[in-house]
Structure 1
């Protein structure tokens, strides 16, 4: 008795098999095409990056040949005498970025925890999330203007009080602060980069398995013990990634540094005094620069790229270390 007569099955249908095979072939072709397209785009991005590096280095060659590594340890920038050095700018870039992280890390991680771990009411979560996105979308030149016309007048009395009471500390000493300074730059940079830390840390905490939190609470841990000893260590690699990405963003910021640093070509140990950064130097002098000065500015750009590359390398090492610890 055949399967058709018993009703327990049906004879194979060649048309259905052909349709299934065609759909499978089409799906494989789409997958292969997508992989090749993404590979081509990634390669194209790498080619553009290499091209930018080579072009910048080529433009900087005259200054590299004339000044050598002394360019990195010279504190003078004199276009009249063709003497160029970026030591004050390297110092200003590193100091403002690190101080910005001091502001942004507790603000960013604290806000991410507040939004993801049930501390914030639902009616508060949406406005805060919208405000974070608004900060990201705000042009840096607008933040620079806000720093000039709002932040500096607002914090000037506070900075003067700090300077008078804690002026014996080298980082807070010097003449009474009046306007642009490295500390103002650091504060605005901290506001700018905090959304990066908030977004990535929030995504990291939300992606952790719920069993981690539920298991810790079931064992008798309090909410804060669960957060500090389980959740944050489990997501530490993502948190460190957000911090390093924010540091790279702070190092490369141009308009805020150019508008709020004071563009003083000297090393001030005090953060309350004017200074300069590499990006501010390039933005402020490129328009009227001569041939050798343009080459020196390109050399400064190469230095900034090397600093950013070192930050990325250190970030990758730290992230892999924490990932190994988590495993």
Structure 2
């Protein structure tokens, strides 16, 4: 009797392990088969490219969040930083008439300063990362709104003085938001961060800090320096996400990056379980973003109302968190 119970327990553990490692990829495959069967154009090349394009910005922002998670942090301000970057880069062209390269450079430098501010607050005040970045999320969102005066920035817009804006968005900038470049940028970032976290000593140090900060400190690792680096990288990719968003829509909407936060968080946490990694990782985050992208695209093709999308996304995130934390406790 005890032997039978032990066998059942082992089988249960094996099933849980298998689902933990391959559940996300199996789900993606099943969704592809399902949507490919019930809709006409889901598997067309055009639609596949459309899915990859639609997840590009989410993936870029989520990769930054993944880096902050690797050191045990949780940067909730990435959506607001993306909004700020979106407003800054478009304003550099429309309001100030800057060149393609200078507009992007100024935006990235400013957002890196934001990353330093986040890290300084988290490290020095020793407040839980999620709570501190929740506060800075509102601050940076307010900065973006104040900077734009709550208005959409676009070519030929009416300025407060009553004159029309004379700056033009460079055509080269617009190409960043078009296929194939938007997809190429995403894939390069995913590959670069995957290689960095997996195969470099600095990536391993960051995982050690995320696993046990005190043990990492006792091992001689400069914990504060790596946490600063992680938040700067998180801000950098949020900035790139905001810049690419600007290139895609060719304007800066109010709080344009805000809606990407939930999807980025979902993608990063879904990615924990891919191939049994059990930790934040770039490839897993990409797989999580693909899963969300396929769900959204397929549901739209089935004419599911847009306001029901968050129910599905929230359910997927809850399931991913449930599997991740169940595995950690067992």
TM-score (normalised: structure 1): 0.31
Larger radius of gyration: 1
Kindly indicate whether structure 1 or structure 2 has the higher relative contact order, using CA contacts under 8 Å at least 6 residues apart.
2
TM-score (normalised: structure 2): 0.31
